[in-house]
Each structure stands twice: as C-alpha cells, then as structure tokens.
A and B are shown apart, each in its own frame.
Chain A
Amino acid sequence: MKRLLVDNLGERLTRRLAGRLSRRSALARLGALLVAAPAFPLLPVQRARAADEGKGTDFSRAAQTDDNTACNYWRYCGIDGNLCACCGGGMHSCPPGSQPSPTSWIGSCINPADQRSYLIAYRDCCGASICPKCSCLGTDHAMPIYRPQANNHIIWCIGANTFEYHCSMAILVGLAE
C-alpha cells in the first residue's frame, strides 16, 4: 500500500520524540500543562473581559475608599453637588434640618477594594439652603439633560416638600455584577 507524505512525516516525528524523551518526562510535562492551563485565559472573550476588569474608569483608577469627604471617594463617581458628609450628614443620612428626597438617580461605581461594580443612589437632601462645602462633579454613567432619569445636574428633590437643594448623598444599593 502506498503511504502518504503526511503519514511518513508523522511517523518520523513521533519516532524522534520517542527517542529523545523519556515516558516519565512526557507525562510530567503533560501534567504540568493540564494543571497550568486554567490560569491562562485562552479564549478572546475571556482575555477581553480580564482586560476590562483591570481597566475601570478614569474616576475609579484614582478613587480611594477611606475619606468620604473627598471628591475622589469611590462612591462619588457620578455625583454632582455638595457632599452631605461635609455638611453634618453622612452617606445615608441628611444633615439636621433637611429631608431626603424620595427620588434619586441611580448609577454604578467600581469599588477599588474589590474591583466590582456597585449600584449607587445619588439622593439629594432638600428643605434647607445650599451647603456651600465640598462641591464635587463625577460623570460616570451620567447622561445629558434630555435623558433626565440619569442626569446628575437635575435637582433631585422631586416628591420632597420643597425644591430647595441642600446637599447630595451616595447611598449604596447593592452589587451590580
């Protein structure tokens, strides 16, 4: 029977490998390869996702998790206003004399501590004159005024007793992904 060129090449390669490598050495290499393979993402989607996870936004790359009176605190990635944390309030509580609006806009920020995306409700405190401290502007996921649901320039005192703006909170809603 006539043998194909491919068959001849295959046989030659296999014999050469068999002559140069011991069986134990081949098994060790194969074992190491099998165990190490999951550590190296091979699929393009996996590689792209891994790259994205490390990328974040300009804000998240410079964000910190310790000082909630600074504009680069991680939850302020989409805030536009004066921080309630600088005005006698907190992340989840309005300063005395003002009331939380029942409405807000909800965006998401990456927490540098775990590189995961969290939903943040930007809720205004209303009913007192503006607190002139810690004015911050974050624009992650904020949309123009013609998409008001995600616009951070609106006074989100809709539904409150008064439209008088005092300050803004950044309430943690939950883990987005």
Chain B
Amino acid sequence: MGLVAGLMTLITAVALAAVPRAKRAQSPTPLPAAQVAYLTSCGGCHGIEGRSAPGSVPTLRGLTGSFLCTPQGRDFIIRLPDVALTQLSDRRLTEVMNFVVFDLGAPVAGGEKASLYTVAEVARLRHHPLTDTGLTAYRNQVVAGLASRCRVPLALHVYAAPVTASR
C-alpha cells in the first residue's frame, strides 16, 4: 500500500508540475480584457491602434482625450449610438471607454485631474443615446465647444460618414 501511494503521489506531482510549464513556454501574454473588447467591438473600423482612415472613420488615437474638456464632450462620446447601444455590459463598456480615452486618446484634457468614467456614469449616459439627433451637426457643436475652451487638435474637426458595399 505504501509503495502504491508513493508511486501515485510521484506521478501526480510530475504531471502537475510539467503541464503548466509547457503551456507557459509556448503561449504569449493575453491582451487586457478592455483591449480585447475594444478590438472586437470597435477596433476593426477605428483601427487596432486607434488610427483609421481620415475622413472615413474618426481616428481615436491622440484625439478622444480632448472630449473631456467640457461636460458636453465627456457625455457625448458615451451617448454616441454605437457606444451607448453596444451589447457590452455597463462595466465592460466603462473599461473600454476608459481605455479609448485615457490610453488611446491621450493626452486627456484636464491632465491628471481628469477622472475616469465610473460604471454608474456610463450606465446613466447610455440610457440617452443620440439616436434622434442629427449626429454630424451635433458633433460639430460639441467640437466647437471644446475648441472654445481648450486647444484641440485640428484632426478632431475631420469627420465624414463611411460608405459600404457588398461583395
């Protein structure tokens, strides 16, 4: 009995020690969950690194942080239809938008004083999606508000609706 138990212990210990080591050696580091959600929900059009085709899809990199210059701008990017109506949960959407604004979109207006979006804030704002508003005109109004308060990049003014075709 002692021999059998010892053998079983040895086999189990070897198996437990060997499997994780083999996995660690082969696999790269997983991307953060917020970045994965950004890539699968937004990154195809807005670009893997937030850079997209100027004039077709708004570029995010280096620009979205400017929207935090005014309360209207801060609310606007959560109320955008494709943001507010996404299938992501409130918590995941909050993580994604903090990634989009504070990582991709830096520098952030307000610098270190700018606060992260909270789950409660995102949950409240996404209940008021901009679905019954002329979006381009409203965006121009928001950007004009930003420009009157902060120095915003020229690229923030560039926007045009994308065109699609089918195979």
A residues engaging B (CB < 8 A)? 24-25, 28-29, 31-32, 35-36, 38-39, 80-81, 102-108, 113-114, 116, 119, 121, 145, 148-150, 153-160, 163, 165, 173-177
Contact check, A149 vs B166: say whether CB atoms are below 8 A apart: no
The 3 closest A-B pairs by CB, nearest first: A159-B53, A28-B5, A159-B56
B residues engaging A (CB < 8 A)? 1-2, 5-6, 8-9, 12-13, 15-16, 23, 26-31, 36, 39-45, 47-48, 51-53, 55-57, 82, 162-167
**B162 interface neighbour in A29, A113, A150, A159, Cβ under 8 Å:** A159
**B5 interface neighbour in A29, A107, A114, A157, Cβ under 8 Å:** A29
Complexed CA–CA distance, A102 and B50 (Å): 11
Question: For residue B40, which residues in chain A have a CB less than 8 angstroms away from its CB?
Answer: 106-108, 119, 150
Can you list 16 A-B pairs with a CB-CB distance of less than 8 A? A28-B2, A29-B5, A39-B12, A102-B51, A102-B56, A103-B47, A105-B44, A106-B39, A149-B42, A150-B40, A150-B44, A155-B164, A158-B162, A158-B164, A173-B39, A174-B39
Contact check, A80 vs B39: say whether CB atoms are below 8 A apart: no
Question: For residue A28, which residues in chain B have a CB less than 8 angstroms away from its CB?
Answer: 1-2, 5-6
Contact check, A176 vs B36: say whether CB atoms are below 8 A apart: yes
Contact check, A155 vs B167: say whether CB atoms are below 8 A apart: yes
Complexed CA–CA distance, A106 and B75 (Å): 27
**A35 interface neighbour in B12, B23, B27, B39, Cβ under 8 Å:** B12
Complexed CA–CA distance, A116 and B57 (Å): 31
**A158 interface neighbour in B42, B43, B163, Cβ under 8 Å:** B163
Complexed CA–CA distance, A141 and B163 (Å): 23
Residue of B nearest to A158 (CB): B162
Contact check, B5 vs A31: say whether CB atoms are below 8 A apart: yes
Among A24, A103, A104, A119, the most chain B Cβ lie within 10 Å of the Cβ of A103
Contact check, B36 vs A119: say whether CB atoms are below 8 A apart: yes
Contact check, A114 vs B23: say whether CB atoms are below 8 A apart: yes
Contact check, B8 vs A36: say whether CB atoms are below 8 A apart: yes
Question: For residue B2, which residues in chain A have a CB less than 8 angstroms away from its CB?
Answer: 24-25, 28
